[in-house]
Amino acid sequence: MPSPQALSVRSMLQQMRASQNPAELSLEAQRAGLDQMGRTIPKPENVRVERTSFGGVPGEWVAIADEPTTRVMLYLHGGAYYMGSCESHRSLAWRLAQASGARVALIEYRLAPEHKFPAAVEDAVKAYESLLAQDIAPDRIAIAGDSAGGGLTLATLVSLRDAGKPLPACAAVLSPWTDLAGTGPSMESRAAYDPWLEPEGIRKAPLLYCSPEQLTHPLVSPLYADLTGLPPILIHVGHDECLLDDSVRLHEKLRQAGVEARVHIWEDMWHVFHSFPIPEADEALKEIGDFMKEKIPE
């Protein structure tokens, strides 16, 4: 059974979905709404946030004060490639920092429709290369992201591999959006259970980011990419979300490519439930942190 807190959040999301039509909201309103959701968890006093730039890409270092570490996580936020910022994802970043014992490099890659594909991929690669330029060893780095940021995590890994760059020690993806063509069976089979997303919106959003012809480009939809040679990857996804099969099929393809991959399907959970103040999120973040500690021991 889901926790009382999870049931409360699910009810809130269902009410929001019933009362709001994203198509009627401006981009500015949608972006502001996601930023506001990110501010619902107050920042503890021991969290240190430093505004900076990663290879020209704006962002923040998010870390736990007085906890020295050489472990680094490059975090790529979600938001369908047209929303999201440090404001929307700072609380998730510091919770990941707590769980993993890492400094989190939270970046603000360029957003669509002002900046279409491949802008986000280019910025993520630049940010990773900037970490290497700071003499951070690749085996001390993890890349992680949620939703669109999960897909972007995989696209970044593929881009780095193809460019012959040293890959990070591991990656974690939270409800990753890996098939912008929207072909997964769960797009329909989970539509009645998903309290947040719905198939029509999921299929419209990509056209802000790319052309119809690019929907199956391997760096737009990593489900269609060659995934051989990637580092160990942990996948988290909610059982009740429309994008469930984006993760299930990704896991199958990673395993077929010989990549060490683990998938955890969280019962009764929805898209990126990690972002909410519920016990299930705390448990999931601890699992991600433990995975990072296993792959990047101090």
243-267: pLDDT as tens digits:
999 999 999 999 999 999 999 999 9
CATH code, domain with 257: 3.40.50.1820
pLDDT tens-digit series, residues 46-78? 999 999 999 999 999 999 998 788 999 999 999
The residue-averaged pLDDT of 73-91 equals: 98
The CB-side HSE value for 9 (13 A sphere, CA atoms) comes to 23
pLDDT at res. 19? 80
pLDDT tens-digit series, residues 89-120? 999 999 999 999 999 999 999 999 999 999 99
pLDDT at res. 68? 82
The residue-averaged pLDDT of 136-142 equals: 98
Q: Which token pair is 294?
A: 């296993």
- Integer Cα distance of 36 and 182 in angstroms: 28
Mean pLDDT of the residues in the chain: 96
Q: Which residues are catalytic?
A: 147, 241, 271
- Integer Cα distance of 179 and 244 in angstroms: 11
Q: What is the three-class DSSP state of 254? A: helix
The residue-averaged pLDDT of 267-285 equals: 97
- Integer Cα distance of 84 and 27 in angstroms: 11
pLDDT at res. 23? 65
- How far is Cα of residue 152 from the mean position of the Cα atoms in its chain? 8
pLDDT at res. 22? 65
pLDDT at res. 298? 86
pLDDT at res. 231? 98
The CB-side HSE value for 176 (13 A sphere, CA atoms) comes to 31
Edge-to-edge strands, sheet with 261-266 = 47-54, 57-64, 103-107, 72-76, 141-146, 170-174, 233-238, 261-266
**Number of domain units in the chain:** 1
Residue 16, pLDDT > 90, answer: no
Q: What confidence category does residue 24 fall into, taking pLDDT thresholds of 50, 70 and 90? A: confident
Among residues 96, 187, 109, the alpha carbon closest in space to that of 148 is found at: 109
Residue 171, pLDDT > 80, answer: yes
pLDDT at res. 18? 82
The residue-averaged pLDDT of 199-228 equals: 97
- Integer Cα distance of 216 and 83 in angstroms: 21
Domain that holds residue 46: 4-295
Neighbours of 140 (CB within 10 A): 17
Specify whether the backbone of 260 is left (phi greater than 0), alpha (psi in -120 to 50) or beta: beta
The residue-averaged pLDDT of 2-11 equals: 97
